[in-house]
């Protein structure tokens, strides 16, 4: 009999995996979660399964059957055997970048089997390089970019929806590439330095190296994407590699589940900054948490976390811009701004407590723009555009199969429900409309209103990827009731950002009637039960995946976040309203018309001591009412670290709404961060520390800094440049379309992510841009792009937009020749100019908050002396997203 070969040939690494597997198995004794390893498996399959289970999060072990992962292992081996590049892929690459099913925080599904069936014949005769491009074209047939909430849909759910945000698109592409045996990984810039937001894309391996590509955004060649230029301004790019990985890249963090690596050197000019932490006696501080932070979305956001070594040292390789180094240990902290590329070594003294700090202005400068050299021929671009158009038609043909208005009317009549309400739900459900229809038709007349309340309580993404049986469980096994508390915190299956699962019927079965009655009468007793019976282990869920409530029950183990969801889910199953409070993240239950806090580390009943905060604000010229997450945030300082307070991310979370009455906050120390983003990406920030005392009111001021610089002329643009006005079909000059005065010209590319962001941001400022009264001229490169454009997909765009076609690229050429800021070919390009042929604002490529930037420029124009008769626009109020 022939000896079987090992899946892991390196004996020392195999022993490391065996050790981690044994520790994981010993840590999870409940639920029979490792039974498959008692069966007879071929050696390679058994070692591959042990590798997966050794580093898999407890969420995946508890929520998916072992046969699911065994099937994934077998499909991976099949792809390696049947694909022509299988022999090219090293053991290490296959183990870390092909075998794992998980990419991010998505729900896992059987996409590997489905995708392999669709793709294998399409790519089997291609080179590995060309196969990567082809898989991305296939992905574009299925999915296109549209923003959504932070929960990541599974790959098959993205196909069903036909769109996704960048994190979902990249998860989808990685899953597709791995399905045909191509090593792939998701790369993130946790946050940009020059604009708010983040971005995710994909790296795939071919010809002995890693290439990057925009997910579901096929280009003619690899290492070309719309984010080439923004990436050169990046401060950090990273990826989480499944398991313990020893590659060539800089290792950021090693956890029991993954190895975080830094890949910034693949994208931007970099330098290294070395940090030493000492105490008040100049002695090294060992084990301090060192966080490297960027200003983004109104907060100081940690893009990297490290721990100081035995010499009190830490380092980071980063893009060349400003970064805030925040160090904490044992309740103390210190921080300093560093300019990477200029500051090469810092020594920080760890000696501060929050009350020592008051206010600090902070000017933050991002990396400078760089020159991007992209080698794509006109012929390649033209051929690729033809393919993109065909792929759009394939995807649109699928979208056309979504439920029709006629069917919605028919269903609404049969169900005796309001047509407009039904339409809103069915349209939002996209390709999942059949599951929503199935759910509604299982309801009785008596519980139909309850069913509609349930659907309205969940998120739009839930409508797109939740199956009927999940909704049925929560409908049938929730007692009847009315009111907002009932709908949102009892009937509602959603607690946090977890994937929705059925559990109410099961909990009503497995919890005895006696215990259930006890917990209903005294929910604190349920908190005590959780403390005594559920073991908290955050290390085994380092990627912070939410375990399902039933997974926690069966394994008797959870991380701290999953325990909160479990606590709430069981109480709701027993008829007690409960929630995880948004602002503080505390689990709470509803008793005597009051929300009661639960602290799993402290069994004492009662809410934490609290006080109140008022915040005054003196409006600056361009901002009447600052928006949370956009212009300011508040973080509680605990153990020297910043913990962001969460508010609903909508237009209601403004200074005037949040502080319409004194804001109730737990007693403790806090930091308010504000920031004004300038046109060049720099930020004028202000840090304000304050303390909330029990029973007292603290008065602070919210300060938005602004630049006193006058409007500067950046270049020239001939306002007599012409375009084809699509409304008339005739050639028209910018001057003729706008009249005398200032105007905005935006050159855009349909269905491209930077354009999508720009137009949505402009739509968010509709009121202010309409009040301005001048024209916004939006131009497409050609007629095909204009015909494919659907303005309804971008929100409610301003009515003063004129759409046109930039015939032969003449307007873009004028802008490039006259404005030094615009040097490259990528779109969108947005300028503010006047009929004296001056350009006072110019932006190219990816930028978040375009609408607000335009409003700021308009505000500066209004404040400047009028130089043209009749060029005094109406006042501009605050722009909200």
Look up the CATH superfamily of 715-863. Glutaredoxin (3.40.30.10)
Q: pLDDT-derived band of residue 604, with 50, 70 and 90 as boundaries?
A: low
Which residues is 666 bridged to in the sheet?
610
Q: What mean pLDDT comes out for the span 637-664?
A: 92
Nearest residue to 289 via CA among 244, 335, 345: 335
pLDDT above 50 (res 1): no
pLDDT above 60 (res 496): yes
The whole-number pLDDT of residue 623 equals: 82
pLDDT-above-90 percentage for the chain: 81
Euclidean distance between CA atoms 217 and 414, whole angstroms: 42
Least confident range of 8-17, 127-136, 766-775, 836-845: 836-845
Within 10 Å of residue 638's Cβ, how many Cβ atoms? 14
The whole-number pLDDT of residue 354 equals: 65
CATH 2.60.40 is held by the domain 610-702: yes
HSE-CB at 492 with a 13 A cutoff on CA atoms is 24
The whole-number pLDDT of residue 559 equals: 96
The whole-number pLDDT of residue 355 equals: 65
Alpha-carbon Rg for the chain, nearest whole angstrom, is 28
pLDDT above 90 (res 867): no
Which residues is 651 bridged to in the sheet?
none
Tokens (6 digits) for 139 = 């992905």
> Whole-number mean pLDDT of the chain?
92
Q: What mean pLDDT comes out for the span 230-255?
A: 95
Least confident range of 347-351, 355-359, 473-477: 355-359
Euclidean distance between CA atoms 33 and 362, whole angstroms: 51
Q: Answer whether 110's CB lies under 8 Å from 156's CB.
A: yes
Tokens (6 digits) for 504 = 């109410």
The whole-number pLDDT of residue 740 equals: 86
Least confident range of 112-116, 278-282, 771-775, 825-829: 825-829
DSSP label of 487: I
Nearest residue to 312 via CA among 263, 256, 350, 272: 350
The whole-number pLDDT of residue 826 equals: 79
The whole-number pLDDT of residue 707 equals: 80
pLDDT above 70 (res 779): yes
The whole-number pLDDT of residue 880 equals: 33
Tokens (6 digits) for 826 = 């990528």
Euclidean distance between CA atoms 333 and 288, whole angstroms: 9
pLDDT above 90 (res 857): no
Q: pLDDT-derived band of residue 382, with 50, 70 and 90 as boundaries?
A: very high
Euclidean distance between CA atoms 435 and 441, whole angstroms: 10
Q: Which helix (H) or strand (E) holds 303?
A: strand 299-307
Q: pLDDT-derived band of residue 373, with 50, 70 and 90 as boundaries?
A: confident
Q: pLDDT-derived band of residue 602, with 50, 70 and 90 as boundaries?
A: confident
Euclidean distance between CA atoms 521 and 526, whole angstroms: 10
Least confident range of 190-199, 603-612, 753-762: 603-612
Domain boundaries, the chain: 11-184+234-249, 405-597, 610-702, 715-863
Tokens (6 digits) for 588 = 């709470």
Euclidean distance between CA atoms 758 and 845, whole angstroms: 9
Please indicate, yes or no, whether the overall pTM of this predicted structure exceeds 0.85.
Answer: yes
Which residue has better confidence, 351 or 765? Answer: 765
Q: pLDDT-derived band of residue 508, with 50, 70 and 90 as boundaries?
A: very high
pLDDT digits (tens, 9 = 90+) for 702-760: 999 988 766 677 778 988 899 999 999 999 999 999 988 899 999 999 888 889 989 99
pLDDT above 80 (res 179): yes
Q: What mean pLDDT comes out for the span 44-61?
A: 97
């Amino acid at each position: 009999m022939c000896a079987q070969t090992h899946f892991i040939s390196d004996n020392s690494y195999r022993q490391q995996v065996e050790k981690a597997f044994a520790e994981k198995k010993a840590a999870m004794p409940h639920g029979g979660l490792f039974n498959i390893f008692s069966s007879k498996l071929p050696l390679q399959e058994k070692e591959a399964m042990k590798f997966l289970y050794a580093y898999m999060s407890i969420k995946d072990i508890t929520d998916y059957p072992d046969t699911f992962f065994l099937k994934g292992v077998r499909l991976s081996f099949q792809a390696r055997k049947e694909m022509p590049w299988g022999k090219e892929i090293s053991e290490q690459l296959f183990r870390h970048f092909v075998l794992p099913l998980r990419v991010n925080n998505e729900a896992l599904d059987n996409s590997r089997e489905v995708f392999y069936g669709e793709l294998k014949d399409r790519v089997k005769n291609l080179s590995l390089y060309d196969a990567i491009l082809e898989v991305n074209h296939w992905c574009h047939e299925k999915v296109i970019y549209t923003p959504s909430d932070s929960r990541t849909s599974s790959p098959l759910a993205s196909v069903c929806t036909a769109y996704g945000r960048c994190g979902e698109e990249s998860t989808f592409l990685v899953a597709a590439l791995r399905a045909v045996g191509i090593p792939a990984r998701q790369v993130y810039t946790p946050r940009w330095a020059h604009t708010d937001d983040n971005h995710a894309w994909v790296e795939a391996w071919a010809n002995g190296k890693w290439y990057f590509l925009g997910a579901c955004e096929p280009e003619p060649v690899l290492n070309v994407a719309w984010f080439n230029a923004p990436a050169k301004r990046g401060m950090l790019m990273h990826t989480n590699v499944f398991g313990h990985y020893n590659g060539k890249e800089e290792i950021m963090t090693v956890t029991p589940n993954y190895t975080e690596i830094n890949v910034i050197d693949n994208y931007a000019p970099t330098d290294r900054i070395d940090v030493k932490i000492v105490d008040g006696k100049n002695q090294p501080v060992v084990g301090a948490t060192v966080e490297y932070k960027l200003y983004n979305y109104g907060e100081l956001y940690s893009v990297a976390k490290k721990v100081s070594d035995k010499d009190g040292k830490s380092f980071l390789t980063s893009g060349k811009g400003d970064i805030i180094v925040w160090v904490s240990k044992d309740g103390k902290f210190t921080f300093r701004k560093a300019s990477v590329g200029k500051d090469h070594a810092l020594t920080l003294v760890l000696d501060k407590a929050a009350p020592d700090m008051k206010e600090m202005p902070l000017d933050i400068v991002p990396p400078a723009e760089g020159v991007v050299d992209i080698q794509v021929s006109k012929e390649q671009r033209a051929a690729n555009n033809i393919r993109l158009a065909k792929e759009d038609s394939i995807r649109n043909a699928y979208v056309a199969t979504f439920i029709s208005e006629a069917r919605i009317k028919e269903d609404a009549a049969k169900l005796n429900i309001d047509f407009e309400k039904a339409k809103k739900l069915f349209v939002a459900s996209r390709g999942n409309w059949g599951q929503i229809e199935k759910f509604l038709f299982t309801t009785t007349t008596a519980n139909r209103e309850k069913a509609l309340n349930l659907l309205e309580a969940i998120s739009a993404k839930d409508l797109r990827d939740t199956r009927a049986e999940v909704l049925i469980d929560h409908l049938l096994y929730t007692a009847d009731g009315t009111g907002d508390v009932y709908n949102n915190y009892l009937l509602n299956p959603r607690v946090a950002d977890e994937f929705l699962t059925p559990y109410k019927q099961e909990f009503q079965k497995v919890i005895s009637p006696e215990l259930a009655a006890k917990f209903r009468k005294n929910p604190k007793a349920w908190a005590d039960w959780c403390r005594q019976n559920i073991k908290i282990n955050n290390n085994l869920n380092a990627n912070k995946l939410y375990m399902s409530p039933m997974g926690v029950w069966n394994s008797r183990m959870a991380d701290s976040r999953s325990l909160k969801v479990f606590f709430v889910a069981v109480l709701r199953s027993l008829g007690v309203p409960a929630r995880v409070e948004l602002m503080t993240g505390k689990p709470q239950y509803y008793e005597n018309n009051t929300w009661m806090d639960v602290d799993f580390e402290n069994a004492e009943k009662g809410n934490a001591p609290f006080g109140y905060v008022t915040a005054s604000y003196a409006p600056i010229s361009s901002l009447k009412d600052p928006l949370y997450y956009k212009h300011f945030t508040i973080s509680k300082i605990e153990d020297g670290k910043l913990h962001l307070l969460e508010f609903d991310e909508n237009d209601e979370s403004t200074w005037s709404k949040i502080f319409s009455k004194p804001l109730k906050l737990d007693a403790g120390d806090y930091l308010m961060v504000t920031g004004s983003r300038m046109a060049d990406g720099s930020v004028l920030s202000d840090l304000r520390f304050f303390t909330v005392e029990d029973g007292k009111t603290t008065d602070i001021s919210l300060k938005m800094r602004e630049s006193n610089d006058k409007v500067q002329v950046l270049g020239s643009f001939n306002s007599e440049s012409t375009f084809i006005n699509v409304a008339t079909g005739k050639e028209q000059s910018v001057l003729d379309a706008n009249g005398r005065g200032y105007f905005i010209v935006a050159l855009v590319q349909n269905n491209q992510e930077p354009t999508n962001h720009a137009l949505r941001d402009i739509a968010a400022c509709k009121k202010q841009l309409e009040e301005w009264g001048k024209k916004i001229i939006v131009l497409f490169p050609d007629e095909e792009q204009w015909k494919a454009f659907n303005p309804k997909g971008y929100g409610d765009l301003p009515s003063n937009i004129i759409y046109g076609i930039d015939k032969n690229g003449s307007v873009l050429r004028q802008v490039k020749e006259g404005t030094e800021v615009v040097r490259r070919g990528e779109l969108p390009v947005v300028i503010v100019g006047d009929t004296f042929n001056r350009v006072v604002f110019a932006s190219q490529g990816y930028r978040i908050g375009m609408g607000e930037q335009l409003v700021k420029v308009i505000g500066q124009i209004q404040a400047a002396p009028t130089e043209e008769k009749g060029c005094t626009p109406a006042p501009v109020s605050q722009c909200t997203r």
